[in-house]
Structure 1
Amino acid sequence: MHLDAGYDSDTTRTLLNERGLRGRIAHKGEKAPIQASQRWHVERTHAWQNSFHRLARCYERRATVVNAFFDLADTIITVRSLIRRAWTTHRWDERPNRRP
Structure 2
Amino acid sequence: MYGPMKDSSSNEWRIRTNNELGLLFQKPNILETIRSRRLKWAGHAWRSQNPLLCIVLEKDPAGKRPLGSPRMRWEDLVKKDVSALGGGSD
Q: Is the shorter-chain TM-score for this pair beyond 0.5, marking a shared fold?
A: no
Normalising by structure 1, we get a TM-score of 0.29
Normalising by structure 2, we get a TM-score of 0.31
